[in-house]
Each structure stands twice: as C-alpha cells, then as structure tokens.
Amino acid sequence: MSQQLKLREAVPKDAQDLLDFLKKVSRQSDFISFDDIQSTSIRDEEISLDAIFQSEYDELILAVLEDELIGYCRLERIDTKKAEFGVVVDKEFWNNGIASYLLEEAIDWANASPLEKIILEVYKNNSAAIHIYQKYGFTTELTKSKTIVMSKMVK
C-alpha cells in the first residue's frame, strides 16, 4: 500500500460516506450486520456523529486512503467506566494492518478518556480478529454459543 493511510475522528460531514461504507461492507462478510443502516437518514447519522464527536466516552475513528473511507472503529459507551469496541475494514484492504492501526488508535484514545475497560464481542470462527485482539491484550471474559466476549483494561 504505497498511498498514505490517515486515521481521523469522524465528524458530522462524514455521514453520507459512513452510511455508504456500512452498506458496502455489510455485504462483504458474515461477521458484519447492519440491518438498521438501510433506514438511517443522512440527517440522523449527522446527529449521531455529532453526539459521538462531543462525547468524552464515545469515539468513532475513520481510516481514509486517498479520500476513500476504507475502515473505521467505534468505542460506544456502556457506562462511565466501560465502552464496547467494534472495528470494520473494507474486504479489499484486509491483511494490510488497517484493523491494527485502528485498534491502536482506539486504545490510545481510551487511555486518555475516563474509560477503564474496553469490551468487544467476536464470532468464535473469526480467528483473524481474535488473534489481533489477543495481540493487543484482550482476554476472554465470556464464551457464548457463537461468540466470545473479550475485554481489556485501559487504566
């Protein structure tokens, strides 16, 4: 990948690009489900992105390559100490370290926030994702029938 990858915080003007990206990637993998995205308006997404941008507990980081959105990660507040983490990368860019860059950025952001713990849920058969999460210090907290709940302390 000779182009320069940029990671940046999402802002309300990213609403259309983010909705388009989510629609695209939801068709690329069985690990991604955004059933409600089809009915989300641009205005609703702008409002949501503004709330995330203003929050000290929530964050949405975009991975942009030559003005194209190729991935994102999200920290979504559970309570004042915990946030749920999720990451999505366009299939065309898998195995290029994009998820790792996003994960590192999210952990750095969480370390500077009031949060103490990041939690995520991953499908048991998504071994690549599990490997990345373990590499960054996530441990298994709970095993369900199809998924594993993993967590990492950030304070």
Evaluate whether residue 122 is within a structural domain.
Answer: no
Other Cβ atoms closer than 10 A to 62: 21
CATH code of the domain covering residue 28: 3.40.630.30
- Regarding pTM above 0.85, the answer is yes
**Vertex 137 angle, CA 132 and 141, to 5°:** 95
List the domain range (segments joined by +) for residue 59: 5-115
Alpha-carbon distance of 98 to 72, in angstroms, equals 9
- Beta bridge pairs of residue 70: none
Q: What's the number of domains the chain is made of?
A: 1
**What's the CA dihedral at 58, 77, 104, 62 to 10 degrees?**
-40
Q: For residue 126, is it within any domain?
A: no
d(CA 140, CA 56): 26
Q: Could you report the per-residue pLDDT of 17-36, keeping only the tens digit for each?
A: 999 998 888 777 665 555 56
Indicate whether 64 belongs to any domain: yes
β-partners of residue 151 are 119, 139
- Which residues, including other chains, have CB under 8 Å from residue 95's CB and lie 6 or more apart? none
pLDDT at 119: 97
Tens digit of pLDDT for each residue in 110-137? 999 999 999 999 999 989 899 999 999 9
Q: Is 74 inside any structural domain?
A: yes
- Inside any domain, residue 93: yes
- How much is the pLDDT for 137? 96
Could you tell me if residue 147 is inside a domain?
no
Contact 91, 72 (CB under 8 A): no
Cα→Cα distances 120→61, 70, 77, 151, Å: 16, 21, 12, 6
Q: What are phi and psi of 104, to 5 degrees?
A: -60, -45
Residue 7 per-residue DSSP state: E
